A and B are shown apart, each in its own frame.
Chain A
């Protein structure tokens, strides 16, 4: 830096507040993890390091089926919403303004404007009728619901990537008489990939996180990890809950770490 007399990046107190914030964010989570490794029967009193609660959770069929449902729904919803959002982003970001472009963007972001509980109850009311008519009770409803609220989240990073992209490469490809699809597959898609990947991961996490919509839309016997955890919480606060929470925490750390590594290698 050229000017040593005054370092504008140094604002007194900012560092202190920042450190306090980080501690405040992490200490509760650390306590939770420590509780998960506690061998004691009731939460609260330390009785030595133990993996028994993790074993209990993994041994629990209800937990396993909830975990499987969560993964299926999150994968399917992230995949679907990313595909839909990619197509939509291509429609509203490239080239000249088209008629109604503004309304497309508004509709795509509409799920963000509706409070979660309102979205969840409205969907529950409508799906109850659909379930009655079709008699189908499968995971499809959860996947459809999650896909809907994941679209705007997948859309954001894809659009950001797309609007920062240079058009000349595509134009060059088209000039060389490459077909529209070929150009998309060989030029646009590879350039867009980091955005798509970011969108997919965001959608996956948003889906995995959801409890309100899932609990109102799910059919009998269906649980996702968060709805299962919510139910367990209502029933009893055993150390198994800490173990499940810790597992979810490890899952998110791995996802962040993975996306971190991916974006770093891309650069």
Chain B
């Protein structure tokens, strides 16, 4: 606390110098991100309000057509406006598949994280190693791997044919299910790692104390263990949900152009669809949904920490 005016002035001069020094430390990173990420995103926002060129690109001139096309379509016969069911179906599918992926990684990831965290310290490192390798392995390689298993001539079908469980190979590729399996496979480590980090910090004596106080096992799990895992679960869900919602490679390879997701729809508008304003508007919509989900999660996480912690 400053005791006299001079000291206060001094103090604020020091503070200003400190602020300046630290801003200049951050400046290079901020410049790169502003130029290469924020500025292009701004260009996208601008493009979404322009007119579409006949063969792609945009033309100068303000237009809301791009945004209109995200939500409204024209009727085939009388050109009246109707909801853009095609886009809305893809949006709904993307959100549902991303949620389902998060749920599946949750179902498999939480017990796995728990399992690793409760191994004796000596072996725990080896289990960690095993979960880290897929995380650091190329996403494309992992997609190819899972695709090999479920395609018509793939391992699973051969196994089922050989055991006589089926007579005809099952066509599992190019369906929503295939995309879901693929995304769960590639994003699973993203759920395990943060949950593991949360459990690892956990002092198990707390739970035992609760049990000693005649808490039931379920009560103990719900009121003691779950709150402590909560930050890890929130982080894991965000890490899975966001890339799953905007996924491009996995649905492209496993959906075969039929089970399209939001990211593929954006790509289509900038390529064959030749409607850049629509593509830009779809991009901004996706970004807003992701940011919205993030804010919602962050609020929930904060609330969860308040009531439970």
Contact = CB atoms under 8 A, between A and B. Distances in A.
A and B touch in the complex (CB under 8 A): yes
Interface of A: 1-3, 6, 8-11, 13-15, 17-22, 24-29, 31-32, 35, 44, 83-85, 87-88, 90-92, 95-96, 98-100, 104, 107-108, 110-119, 121-123, 125-126, 144-145, 147-149, 151, 155, 205, 208-209, 211-212, 225-226, 229-230, 233, 241-242, 245, 248-249, 252-253, 255-257, 260, 264
A117 to B, nearest CB: 4
B148 interface: yes
B19 A99 contact: yes
Given A111-B37, A125-B40, A117 B266 contact: yes
Contact of B139 (A85, A91, A125, A211): A211
Given A8-B207, A88-B25, A115 B138 contact: no
B15 A44 contact: no
16 contacts: A2-B208, A6-B208, A14-B111, A28-B148, A31-B155, A83-B28, A108-B33, A115-B245, A115-B263, A117-B246, A119-B41, A121-B270, A125-B44, A148-B33, A230-B249, A252-B133
A145 B40 CA distance: 11
Contacts of A114: 37, 41, 287, 290
A98 B208 contact: no
Contact of A29 (B25, B107, B137, B287): B137
Contacts of B221: 11
Interface stretch (B60-68, B112-120, B161-169): B112-120
Contacts of A112: 242
Residue of A13, A115, A241, A256 with highest tally of chain B CB at under 10 A: A115
Contacts of B139: 209, 211
| Interface range for B | 35 or more
Interface string B20-43: 001101101110111011111101
A252 B287 contact: no
A144 B211 contact: no
B153 A117 contact: no
B145 to A, nearest CB: 4
Contacts of A83: 28
A9 to B, nearest CB: 4
A11 B204 contact: no
B174 interface: no
B118 A122 contact: no
B140 A18 contact: no
B267 A117 contact: yes
Contacts of B142: 28-29
A104 B24 CA distance: 11
B204 A91 contact: no
B308 interface: no
The 4 A-B pairs at the shortest CB distance, nearest first, are namely A115-B246, A18-B115, A122-B40, A17-B111
A253 B135 CA distance: 10
A117 B18 CA distance: 38
Given A2-B208, A8-B220, A91 B26 contact: yes
Contacts of A96: 15, 18
A115 B43 contact: no
Contact of A115 (B33, B129, B133, B242): B242
Contacts of B132: 256, 260
A13 to B, nearest CB: 7
Nearest to A44: B153
